[in-house]
Amino acid sequence: MQSSWILIELTVPGSAVDLVCALMAELGCQGTVVEERKLDTFVAPQSDLEPATPYRLKAYFAETENAQILPAEIARTLHQLPDLAALDLQLSGAQAVRIEDWAENWKQHFSCMKIGSRLIVRPSWEAYQPAADEVVIEVDPGMAFGTGTHGTTLLCLEVIAELLERPDPPQSLFDVGTGSGILALGAAALGCRTILANDIDPDACRVARENAEKNGFAESIRISALPLEELDGKFDLVVANILAEENLRLRHELLKHLNPGGWLVLSGILQEKEALVREGFSALPLQAFPTRTQDDWVCLIYRRI
């Protein structure tokens, strides 16, 4: 696992934070901080950002030999959009930062969180005494994101919790783009019996595997770094917390892994891209359910007909 990352800082008005963060993700950004607000895999502005107020945005990229030309490449890409071309984004030069600096900074922003009626997500440094019917998973923030604090992750966790509380809960889960493994952990804690967690990032798989072992789910959660197209099996619940374009690109593969009557949950989708994703999935044999929203993100729920 790499020990240092490349940090690029830029000043962004609140009205443009969501657009800039989405573009940064498409450019390979591994995580973003808006001011002192910590977000995970996908980054959206907090709901209280003032449109005209400038905010300091920190974007983290994997270490590369071309780090010094990265700011110029980012500036060129951002200024190709008319909405951003006239803005003075004030990009900094590339800075190397240690992984420990980033991970430690999260501690002041992440604490215990309750999902649904039973699931508790807690960091290792915070104690929690669960009620009789509650289940607890321990997830520390780190470079493989996914702590439940970001809108996309929270939406997926809430839907998973609801589905597993149904009279006919899903018995198997396919977690596409698992990151830290938090969705798989939450499902396992709530009683899902068979889980496959998939991520093409080897660091994410390592972290997910460590989290599964730490929480006592190493036997029930299988973790794979193979591309989705190379994996076999059908599941009662498929969750893809990935970018809108990736959901679209993989839609037939996602359907292939879904049992008849199974549930498909899609997130990592900005509100302005909901219609695009809905249209792409409209021809598939799926029943659509109402959209869930959190901040500027949406979660789409389908059931295979």
Q: Specify the CATH number for the domain of residue 242.
A: 3.40.50.150
Q: Kindly report the pTM of this predicted structure.
A: 0.70
**Which range, of 87-96, 141-150, 185-194, averages the lowest pLDDT?**
141-150
Predicted local distance difference test score (pLDDT) of residue 148: 55
Domain-terminating residue out of 105, 137, 160:
105
64 and 118 in a common domain: no
Residue range 22-36: average pLDDT?
77
Predicted local distance difference test score (pLDDT) of residue 28: 80
% of the chain at pLDDT higher than 90:
50
Which residue is listed with tokens 């240690």? 98
10 and 151 in a common domain: no
149 and 100 in a common domain: no
244 and 181 in a common domain: yes
Q: Please determine, for residue 129, whether its predicted confidence score (pLDDT) is greater than 90.
A: yes
Q: Token pair for residue 51?
A: 């449109």
Q: Please report, as a single letter, which amino acid is at residue 14.
A: G
Q: How confident is the model at residue 45 (pLDDT cuts 50, 70, 90)?
A: very low
Q: Are 300 and 288 in contact (CB under 8 A)?
A: yes
Question: Which sign does the torsion angle of CA 20, 22, 24, 27 carry?
Answer: negative
Predicted local distance difference test score (pLDDT) of residue 106: 55
Phi, psi for 111 (deg, rounded to 5): -140, -175
Predicted local distance difference test score (pLDDT) of residue 159: 98
Domain-terminating residue out of 89, 105, 121:
105
Residue range 181-187: average pLDDT?
96
Predicted local distance difference test score (pLDDT) of residue 130: 94
Q: Please determine, for residue 40, whether its predicted confidence score (pLDDT) is greater than 50.
A: no
128 and 274 in a common domain: yes
Domain-terminating residue out of 105, 133, 150:
105
209 and 76 in a common domain: no
Q: Are 38 and 104 in contact (CB under 8 A)?
A: no
CA distance 160 to 172: 11
DSSP string, 72-104: HHHHHHHTTSHHHHTS---PPPPEEEEHHHHHH
What does the pLDDT look like over 207-225, one tens digit per residue?
A: 899 999 999 999 999 999 9
118 and 94 in a common domain: no
Q: Please give the residue that has the higher pLDDT: either 191 or 93.
A: 191
71 and 116 in a common domain: no
101 and 115 in a common domain: no
Average pLDDT, the chain: 86
CA distance 51 to 13: 6
Look at the chain and report how many structural domains it folds into. Answer: 2
260 and 122 in a common domain: yes
283 and 149 in a common domain: yes
CATH number for position 89:
3.30.70.260
Q: How many other C-beta atoms can be found within 10 angstroms of the C-beta atom of residue 131?
A: 8
119 and 101 in a common domain: no
Predicted local distance difference test score (pLDDT) of residue 158: 96
Q: Please give the residue that has the higher pLDDT: either 147 or 177.
A: 177
Structural domain that includes position 81: 4-105
Q: How confident is the model at residue 107 (pLDDT cuts 50, 70, 90)?
A: low
Smallest CA-to-CA distance from 170 within 77, 215, 234 is with 234
H-helix or E-strand spanning residue 202? helix 202-214
Phi, psi for 97 (deg, rounded to 5): -130, 150
Q: Please determine, for residue 155, whether its predicted confidence score (pLDDT) is greater than 80.
A: yes
